[in-house]
Structure 1
Amino acid sequence: MPGDAGREAAAWPAEIPPLLRRIYAARGALDIDSARPRLADLLPPDGLLDLERATALLSSAISEGRRILVVGDFDADGATACAVAVRGLRMLGARGVLHAVPNRVTHGYGLSPSLVAELAPLQPDLLVTVDHGIACHAGIDAAKALGWQVLVTDHHLPGEQLPAADAIVNPNRSGDGFAGKSLAGVGVIFYVLLALRARMRAEGRLQGKGPDLSSLLDLVAVGTVADLVPLDANNRALVAAGLRRLRAGRGCAGLAALVEVAGRTASRLGAGDIGYALGPRLNAAGRLEDMSLGIECLLCDDPARARELAQRLDAINRERRTVQQGMLDEAERALSVQALDGIGQGVGVGAAICAYDAGWHPGVVGLVASRLKERLHRPVVAFAPAEPGASALRGSARSIPGFHVRDALAAVDARHPGLIERFGGHAMAAGLSLDARNLGAFKAAFLAHAEATLDAATLEATIDSDGALAPAEFDRAHAEALRDGGPWGQGFPEPLFDGEFEVLEWRVVGERHLKLGLRCEGARTPLAAIHFGGWRNEPPPSRLHLAYRLAPDDYRGGDAIQLIVEHATAAGDQPAAVPAVAAAAGR
């Protein structure tokens, strides 16, 4: 009806093209406010349990000049959360703020008794965990035994019993009224700082409105995207604001240096650049060395020093890629012969996969689990020795939609008490530790749970496409509108299209990637495309059915565009359900 068309047009600014409106609508965003939420629309922090108690602890520690120790985690979310906490508390007047982070090999995940023992000489009055703590019962007990107050800020799913901390802020606690359940760890501590500032304002302890905490949103954006939490409206508002700071050149020196060493252009930075460039460089420090290097980079305000630290992180990331590729090659060799028990002590065939090799690095098994999950569309748990020659194993689990892997570990733990030593995580990713002697029993129990839980439809991989692009939409204006229309990510996926193309030319680049020249019926000019990891040791067919993204080609500049191919089959030969590959992951 004409009236409906008028109301629909009024919901969108004129600069939003019909293609982007269609993309937004497919993701449930029917007007510009829901498609591009603003900071002014952020959920208020009031519903978070223990927030009053948490801000009282922090406010008292600041006013009395007590020593605050922030303990982070060894991934990008934990590193950015630590940097946000340290920077934010100092902005609010805290003078004695220290920070620490566990070593993956030495301490394992989270606040452990061994880490508390190492931190004891620092003699903190208040210990604040960021991005962990909800499962760290023993470590928190050890800290409390030393007379420390403990504030836990976390977003991981809690177990049946909460640790004995003085306050626990976690939107996923039972009974918590905060609607933004998808906050990353960095988002949780940012919200705590917002509430702390409000409290200190009410107490008359700040000049004017107090410090501008929005200056921390560049770090919040990086941690949120890198942790792969769903980008609901609240998280999109946080990430979009952080990206605006980075694009305007107002990000912290450490992130600016990471953008530079990654070869990205700050003014065109998107969520994908965080996921593929900044996040992996931060994560690499925690995987192969010590995340304290990454945190130092994020806390550094000297551009020259930040550049040195970013270059070290870049070198570690190159080493990480080499280690990862070797582990993946072993896995792929086993997969190629369909003899999935060929990796060390084996990979189980069926509804789920358990993989282990004595030579694997514990810091990289999560990436191996991710790649195997993408390759097979099965939940995967990959194990490595916690350290060379150790009997303790560290495992990383990655899952598929429809299988809550943290709940699966909880179910195994309930049925087989003592089998798993520690575990925690989310629906799509989790971590655990167990004794190597229990690997066979765990594999059997995990596979049995998967077989009982998963059905054939869930195990059938598909690619969700936004349909075909019209010939007139293959242009720079639409490519830029799609790039800038995000932030895109988990729960608000980047637009993906599909269609048939004639292959005009092709060549192999970088040994594994396929560069293509394509023709689309109705398009005015040939189209350039790149398929990362697409070389299959044989020429591509003359016609291809592609799932692809439309992107500006900044390398060629001008009006140039290119298609980023995510999946390719011979035209007319695509299966009803095709595996969702992520060939560009980890670049």
Structure 2
Amino acid sequence: MFNNLWDIKAINLDKLHLQEIFDQRNVYAFDENKYFFPSIDALGTEGTILGIDKAVSRINKAIKNNQKICIYGDYDADGTCSTAVLLKTFKALGYENVTHHIPSRLTEGYGLNNDAINKLASNDVKLIITVDCGITSVAEIDLANSLGIDVILTDHHHCPDVLPKAYCIVNPHQDGCPSKFKNFCGAGLAYKLGVSLLNSNNTAVPEEILEIAGIATVADIVELNGENRIIVQLGLELIKKGVNKGVDALLKVAGVKNENVDSRTLGFVIGPRLNSAGRIAHADLALNLLMAEDEEDVKKYASELNQLNAKRQSMGDEIYNDSVKKLDKENLKSNIVISSSKDYHIGILGIAASRLVEKYNKVAIVMAETDKIATGSLRSIEGFSIVDMLDYVKPITLKSGGHEMAGGLSVSLDKLDLLKEKLIEYVDNFYSKNEYCPTKKIDLITSVKNLTLDNFDSISKFEPFGAGNENFTFALTDVKLSYPGYMGSDKTHFSAKIEDTNIRAIRFNAAQELKDVDFSKKMDIAFSLNKNTYNGYTNLQLMIEDMNYSNEKEIHDNDELKSIHDKIIDIEHINQIVDDTISDKNNDLIKKISLNKLKKLKGKTAIYCYYLKELEYIQEIIKLSGLEDIEAFFIPMEKEIESFDNIVFLKNILKLEGSKNIYQVPIKDFDIYQDYSDVRDKMLVMYQAYKTSEIVKLYDILKKYNILTDEFYAINQILNTCKLVDISYPQGYNIAVAKLLKVNNKIDLAKNNTYQAYNKFFKMQRSSNES
């Protein structure tokens, strides 16, 4: 199934604690009214952005002197929306001596370029306002300065060490910026600049520039907290009112009703359609839609964008499928997947790279080759920096840039093979030092009784969801899925019901990844909540995000574990086991017997085990075979032995008083022995794990740290008795909740009875295995 470890933030089976969730999400310490019901007045309370006042002064000077202004944008949705925000701002001011330039992705590439600046100079432009670009354009802005053009640089990307010599820079990330909130998108900055400019001229702020900024904020995947949360919340309300005619038309061709618009609509419906213009045509088409007022024009532009988006999706599928076909033929030992072809369209590379990351759980780069240059788009996995990797290969590349999770580069075709070698070298060297375990954040482990429409409505108040304020991921453990099957015209979408409920669990495009799953077993399921209305009935749906088998065989009831624990911490009993263990070599009293012949023994039979795995295995055999006269135990006790006629040992054999029939199952019949490690080493590992996360899932501990089931329970007992950690098990032994305790004095393990007992017991296991 899936391969994620769970980062569990909370567990509560009784009810949903929304106040606790609010405290976790409210990272900018808004009061509840401002967080859930913001007003336009709430914007701008986090401090002024450095450079805005100087920019407003220069723009007003240009307006007074009727200087020609150019808004220089970018070809993605954010850049297009940023350009629209400022064009509408100047329209509200009644100033018409304004033009714009959005570069072509195919012929110009990202950011400012000399040809465009020379052309603007020849058209008598005296002021350039960049939006969503420019922070790295040192040489280009030097050229503009030499041509008598002032540049107001507005850009939300992180600042390099050397900044361009612009007239002024509006970027919250620059040193000395007093704004508490830094993570605007380009259109968010353009909105802040536009509002300041309009206010300085006592001009009303048009609603649609806030609507457009809200769309870009989600589409550009910036943090949906702080002021961005307010921008998007208020922007959604305006979209529902149909303020911008172009956006309204785009929703209609996409088949979305205004009242149903949410953050997912911005990210997965509007954003991709605006982006499609810059990817495979020209971004001016998207800009035209946002600026249009005529009903026929907006219908025309919306229809064209919808068609382009469908074409983009088809082209993306072709690149992705071709990449997978080639990669699956390779021996994918490296932690990066690389796909390159002359047939790939440069505008679709990032989409394909993102899908490859999702499929392979590896860093991905997809490249389009021309006669002389290869251009690539990179996507990362959590914990790996694209920026650092680009720095490593910078001497080879012609151009590169990006952030932690995504980036782009270009390289001469004659250096493409060298680039691939260096990328593989860097990534594999990184992962030789840093273990990668894909992780799924779980906001809350809950119970089925909490999955109600009322709770869904309460959770929905935390909208808009997106980067930094992701939709809630809940989890159910030890549940069964009934009526599993596949739906859709091509039967690729998985659907099932949570047993004994009407709640349906869904996962799209899951036929391949779930084809070998045994749905008769219990599952641990991570999911987001969705509401589905059909034929007038509204029900909850679970959108499956992660799923694994529950650890049914790893979980023991309290009485059984307590009995095992009591036996182990009895030091004298451990000594007896060690002292009384005899060799089976040349011992005529011991008879060999295979597991399948145990049922032929006469009388009552006891089987004694020294590993929990053995005990689980034998108990399962007894259950499935219906062997009523056979019982399995963990470590023999004298009072237990007395009532049995036959004693069967697995590997270790004890000296026994009296006339008992003693048997041993040969090792070759029972090959599940475990490799026990030093208890103290595993104590340190587990303690560090609890410092990272207070709530851990047994499945993840076994997988990530290679700690065995009995070791897991033993170490928890030791940590408890050492008063290092207070551990509880709210759901059997599948989930452990640990609270670190304050330690005043050094722990002397030599005086800890529990540690000594377990350590001696596991040493006995190791020496037994070695023999």
TM-score interval for Structure 1 and Structure 2 normalised by the shorter chain: 0.7 to 0.9
Provide, for residues 257-287 of structure 1, a one-character-per-residue CA deviation record: whole Å limited to 9, x for no partner.
Answer: 1222222221121111111111111111111
In the alignment, does 2:239 pair up with 1:241? no
* Aligned mates of 2:460, 2:533 — CA distance in 1: 12
Task: Give 1:253 deviation, angstroms.
Answer: 0.8
- Tell me the CA shift for residue 23 of structure 1: 3.4
Task: Compute the displacement of 1:214 (Å).
Answer: 4.4
> 443, 448, 454: which is aligned to 1:466?
443
> Is it true that 1:423 corresponds to 2:423 in the alignment?
no
1:24 aligns with 2:33: no
Amino acid at match of 2:510: G
Following superposition, the deviation at residue 390 of structure 1 comes to 3.1
Look up the match of 1:211. 204
Q: Work out which of the residue numbers 534, 537, 553 in structure 1 matches 2:510.
A: 534
Shift in Å at residue 45 of structure 1?
Answer: 7.3
User: 1:154-165, aligned counterparts within 5 Å?
Assistant: 154-165=155-166
User: Which 10-residue stretch deviates more, 446-455 or 504-513?
Assistant: 446-455
Q: Does the C-alpha gap of structure 1 residues 409 and 505 become closer, same or farther in structure 2, counting only changes over 3 Å?
A: closer
2:384 aligned to which of 390, 400, 403: 403
Cα distance in structure 1, aligned partners of 2:413 and 2:297: 42
Aligned match of 2:759: none
Q: Is the 8 A contact 1:253 1:301 kept in 2?
A: yes
Q: 1:254 to 1:20 in 2, by over 3 A?
A: farther
One-letter amino acid matched to 1:52: D
In structure 1, the residue matched to 2:360 is: 376
Query: How many angstroms apart in 1 are the aligned matches of 2:295 and 2:432?
Result: 53
**Structure 1 stretch displaced more, 403-412 or 125-134:** 403-412
The answer on whether the counterparts of 2:484 and 2:519 sit within 8 Å (CA) in structure 1 is no
Secondary structure in 1 matching 2:320: helix
Structure 1 distance, partners of 2:182, 2:371, is 37
Question: How far did 1:288 drift?
Answer: 0.8
Shift of 1:495: 0.7
Deviation per CA, 1:336-371, whole angstroms, max 9, x where unpaired? 45534xxxxxxxx43434432222111111112211
Q: Distance in 2 between matches of 1:352 and 1:24?
A: 37
Partner of 2:88: 87
Cα shift readout 1:166-205 (whole Å, capped 9, x = no counterpart): 222111223433222211111111111222234x2xxxx4
What is residue 347 of structure 2 aligned with on the other side?
363
Contact 1:351–1:459, Cα closer than 8 Å, also in 2 = no
Q: Which one-letter code corresponds to 2:181 in the other structure? A: G
User: Are residue 276 (structure 1) and residue 277 (structure 2) matched?
Assistant: no
Cα 1:45/1:498, change in 2 over 3 Å:
closer
Matched letter for residue 508 of structure 2: F
Cross-structure match for 1:306: 298
2:253 to 254, 261, 264: 261
1:383 shift after superposition? 1.7
2:700 aligns to what?
576
1:585 matched residue in structure 2: none
1:287 lines up with 2:285 in the alignment: no
> Retained in 2: the 8 A contact 1:503–1:541?
no
What's 1:184 paired with? 185
The structural deviation recorded for 1:99 is 1.8
The residue aligned with 1:321 is 313
Q: Which has the larger radius of gyration?
A: 2
CA contact (8 A) 1:512 1:532 kept: no
Residue of structure 1 equivalent to 2:661: none
Q: TM-score by structure 2 length?
A: 0.65
The amino acid that maps onto 1:185 is: G
Change (3 A) 1:482 1:458: farther
Equivalent-residue separation in structure 1 for 2:138 and 2:220 (angstroms): 23
SS in 1 for 2:401: strand
TM-superposed deviation, 1:50: 2.4
Aligned length: 536
Matched, 1:49 2:41: no
For 2:470, the equivalent position in structure 1 comes to 493
Q: Paired residue for 1:223?
A: 216
User: What is the rounded CA distance, in whole Å, between the counterparts of 1:132 and 1:439 in structure 2?
Assistant: 27
Percent of aligned pairs with the same residue?
26
Equivalent residues in 2 for 1:425-464 (5 A)? 425-454=402-431, 459-464=436-441
Cα distance in 2 between the residues matched to 1:354 and 1:552: 39
Quickly say closer, same or farther: Cα 1:32–1:145, change in 2 above 3 A: same
CA apart distance, 1:570 = 4.7
Query: Helix, strand or coil for the counterpart of 1:363?
Result: helix
- Name the CA shift for 1:495/1:320 in 2 (closer, same or farther; >3 Å): same
Deviations 1:120-163 (A, max 9, x none): 55432211111011122343334334332221111112322222
Distance in structure 1 (CA, Å) of the matches to 2:260 and 2:66: 42
State the distance in 2 between where 1:565 and 1:122 align: 56
Q: For residues 546 and 537 of structure 2, what CA distance do their matches in structure 1 show?
A: 27
User: More deviation in 184-193 or 393-402?
Assistant: 393-402
Greater alpha carbon shift after TM alignment, 149-158 vs 541-550: 541-550
Cα distance in structure 2, aligned partners of 1:454 and 1:245: 47
**Displacement of 1:113:** 1.6
Aligned in 2, Cα 1:106/1:512: closer, same or farther, shift over 3 Å?
Answer: farther
d(CA) in 2 for partners of 1:213, 1:565: 41
Q: Kindly indicate whether the alpha-carbon contact (under 8 Å) linking 1:157 and 1:425 is maintained by their aligned counterparts in 2.
A: no
User: Per-residue deviation at 1:515?
Assistant: 4.2
Partner of 1:36: 36
Q: Secondary structure at the match of 1:373?
A: helix
**Further displaced range: 41-50 or 110-119:** 41-50
Aligned 8 A contact 1:70 1:128 in 2: yes
